[in-house]
Amino acid sequence: MLEHYFLKPKTIDRIRASWIAGGIETYVSWLEGQGHSAQTIHRRVPLLVSFGEYSKGRGATSIEDLPKYLTDFANHCEKQSLCRSDGARKTLNREIRGCLRQMLSIVLPAYDGRARSRRAYVPRFDFLDRFFKFLKEERGLSKASLRVYDYSLGLLQSYFDRIGLASMQDLSPPVLGSFVLDIKDRLGKAALIRVLCPVRVLLRWLYRERLTGRDLSTMIEVPRTYELSALPRSISWDEVRLMLEAVDRRTVVGRRDYAILLLLVTYGLRAREIATITLDDIDWKAERLRIRDRKAGHSTGYPLSSVVGDAIIDYLKKDRPKTADRHLFFRINAPIRAMSWQAVGSRAVHYLRTAGIDIPKRGSHTLRHTCVQRLVDAQFSLKQIGDYVGHGSPDTTRIYAKVDFESLRELAIGLGEDLL
Q: Among all residues, which ones are annotated catalytic?
A: 270, 295, 365, 368, 391, 400
- Asked if 108 and 64 count as a contact pair (C-beta separation under 8 A), the reply is yes
- DSSP annotation of 3 reads G
Buried b (16+ CB within 10 A) or exposed e, 168-195: beebeeeebeebbeebeeeeeeeebebb
3 state SS of 153: helix
- Helix, strand, or coil (residue 302): strand
Q: Classify residue 158 as exposed, middle or buried by CB count within 10 Å of its CB (0-12, 13-18, 19+).
A: middle
Under 8 Å between Cβ of 385 and 375: yes
List, edge to edge, every strand of the sheet that includes 282-283. Answer: 282-283, 288-291, 300-303
- DSSP secondary structure string for all residues of 210-238: TSSSS--GGG--PPP--TT-S------HH
Cα 265 to Cα 374: distance, rounded to the nearest angstrom: 10
Sign of CA dihedral 107, 111, 112, 115: negative
List of residues 6+ apart from 150 with CB closer than 8 A: 116, 117, 132
**On the CB side of 161, how many CA atoms lie within 13 Å of its CA?**
11
Radius of gyration (C-alpha) of the chain in whole angstroms: 26
Residue pair 326/280 in contact by the 8 Å Cβ criterion? yes
What single-letter amino acid sits at 398?
Answer: R
Q: What is the DSSP string of 284-300?
A: TTTTEEEE-S-TTS--E
What is d(CA 342, CA 335) in angstroms, rounded to the nearest whole number?
Answer: 16
| Dist CA 393 CA 25 (whole Å) | 51
As a whole number of angstroms, the distance between CA 223 and CA 39 comes to 50
Q: Are 384 and 412 in contact (CB under 8 A)?
A: no
CB 228 within 8 A of CB 214: no
Q: Is 303 helix (H, G, I), strand (E, B) or coil?
A: strand
